[in-house]
């Protein structure tokens, strides 16, 4: 019998056969790859809310189902930033917001993931992750490596940093293969901690 994989939006909870498993973000946090340690929770919650809303709006945009007038004024710039990135860089999405459950090395260590885009960028198939943060992070490379693992995608990967000003998003490539090694270690550490009584990080 095939394993049953489920996702519950409330609490951002992935399960495999009824057993909770870490998401990419949770695994990275548990492994100490957390760029926001020490940041007050109210700021993290605000940033997370912006990111979630922008992801939803860009999702509708890519499906040609967005009325820009329905987007709040403080988010319009990010949406235009994505639209202008696609136009200036010649990007066409193929996969939009794919959620799933995969496993780590050796077919063990399951994890949940949701990648943003796989598409064609100027003739090249690429995995992209959309970001609304003002500062870049080297941890983004590990995150995109995790999404490649989850999707069994062996092509190039990058983030697109979106801007509230509406300027075209900026492409940030992550070519280092070490990112995959770091992800494998992070996933192993997360599972070790969970197996030894550590709780899942509280969702933001």
Q: What is the pLDDT of residues 42-71, one digit of tens each?
A: 777 788 889 999 999 999 999 999 999 999
| Res. 39: pLDDT tops 80 | no
Instruction: Decide: 25 and 47 in contact? Cβ < 8 Å.
Output: no
Assign 3-class secondary structure to 19-83: EEECEHHHHHHHCCCCCCCCCCHHHHHHHHHHHHHHHHHHHHHHCCCCCHHHCCHHHHHHHHHHH
Q: So what's the pLDDT on residue 37? A: 60
| Res. 35: pLDDT tops 80 | no
**DSSP E strands, 46-174:** 91-102, 111-121, 124-131, 157-161, 170-173
By CB neighbour count within 10 A (0-12 exposed, 13-18 middle, 19+ buried), where does 122 fall? exposed
Highest mean pLDDT among 46-50, 159-163, 200-204: 159-163
HSE at residue 189, side-chain half, CA atoms within 13 A, is 15
Rounded distance between C-alpha atoms, residue 71 and residue 128, angstroms: 23
What are the structural domains, with CATH classification, of the chain? 38-187 (3.90.320.10)
Order of strands, edge to edge, in the sheet holding 124-131?
Answer: 91-102, 111-121, 124-131, 157-161, 170-173
Token reading at 83 = 């639209």
Rounded distance between C-alpha atoms, residue 197 and residue 26, angstroms: 15
């Amino acid at each position: 019998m095939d394993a049953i994989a489920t996702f519950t939006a409330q609490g951002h909870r992935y399960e495999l056969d009824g057993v909770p498993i870490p998401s990419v973000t949770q695994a990275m946090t548990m492994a100490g790859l957390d760029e926001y340690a020490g940041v007050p929770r109210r700021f993290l919650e605000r940033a997370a809310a912006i990111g979630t809303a922008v992801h939803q709006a860009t999702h509708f945009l890519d499906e040609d189902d967005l009325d820009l007038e329905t987007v709040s004024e403080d988010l319009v710039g990010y949406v235009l930033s994505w639209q202008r990135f696609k136009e200036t860089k010649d990007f066409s999405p193929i996969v939009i917001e794919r959620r799933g459950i995969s496993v780590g090395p050796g077919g063990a260590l399951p994890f949940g993931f949701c990648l943003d885009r796989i598409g064609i960028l100027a003739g090249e198939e690429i995995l992209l992750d959309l970001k609304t943060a003002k500062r870049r992070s080297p941890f983004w490379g590990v995150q995109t490596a995790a999404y490649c693992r989850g999707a069994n995608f062996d092509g190039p990967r990058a983030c697109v940093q979106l801007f509230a000003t509406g300027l075209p998003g900026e492409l940030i490539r992550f070519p280092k293969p070490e990112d995959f090694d770091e992800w494998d270690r992070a996933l192993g550490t997360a599972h070790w901690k969970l197996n030894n009584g550590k709780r899942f990080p509280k969702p933001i």
